[in-house]
C-alpha cells in the first residue's frame, strides 16, 4: 500500500483537497495530514477505501504525553483511522521513559 502525505505547515485547504482526490484516483491506502485537516480529509474520502491518518506530536515529538493523548483522541473523533506519532527523542535519549 502506498500512503500519501501533506503535513507542511503551509498546507492549504486546496492542497488537502488535491491530496485526497489524487489518493482516490491512484488507489492509495491512506493520506496523512495534520490534525487541523483530519475532519476535511475524512469528509472528502467518505465512501472510498482511502484511510485518514493524523500526525500526533508533529514535528518534534517534544510534547507532553497527556497532550499527545488528547491530540490522538481528537484526531480519532474527527475521523482519523490511523495515527502517526512522533516520539520524544530527547526524553528517550535522557532515559525519561515516562515522557516518551
Mean pLDDT computed over every residue of the chain: 97
C-alpha–C-alpha distance, residues 59 and 9, integer Å: 10
Q: In the prediction, which pLDDT does 53 show?
A: 99
What is the span of the domain harbouring residue 90? 3-99
Q: How far apart are CA 15 and CA 57, in angstroms?
A: 21
Mean pLDDT across the stretch 42-54?
99
Structural element, H or E, at residue 56? strand 51-56
**CATH code, domain with 10:** 3.20.20.70
Q: ∠64-70-75 over CA atoms, to 5°?
A: 125
pLDDT for res 8: 98
Express each pLDDT in 51-61 by its tens digit: 999 999 999 99
CB 7 within 8 A of CB 53: no
Number of domains in the chain: 1
pTM: 0.92
Closest of 27, 25, 40 to residue 79, by C-alpha: 40
pLDDT category at 1 given cuts 50, 70, 90 is: confident
Amino acid at each position: 500500500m502506498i500512503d500519501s502525505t501533506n503535513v507542511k505547515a503551509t498546507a492549504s485547504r486546496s492542497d488537502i483537497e488535491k491530496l485526497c482526490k489524487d489518493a482516490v484516483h491512484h488507489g492509495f491506502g491512506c493520506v496523512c495530514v495534520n490534525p487541523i485537516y483530519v475532519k476535511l480529509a475524512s469528509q472528502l474520502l467518505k465512501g472510498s477505501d482511502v484511510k485518514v491518518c493524523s500526525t500526533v506530536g508533529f514535528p518534534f515529538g517534544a510534547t507532553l504525553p497527556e497532550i499527545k493523548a488528547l491530540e490522538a483522541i481528537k484526531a480519532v473523533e474527527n475521523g482519523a483511522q490511523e495515527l502517526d506519532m512522533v516520539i520524544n527523542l530527547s526524553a528517550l535519549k535522557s532515559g525519561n521513559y515516562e515522557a516518551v
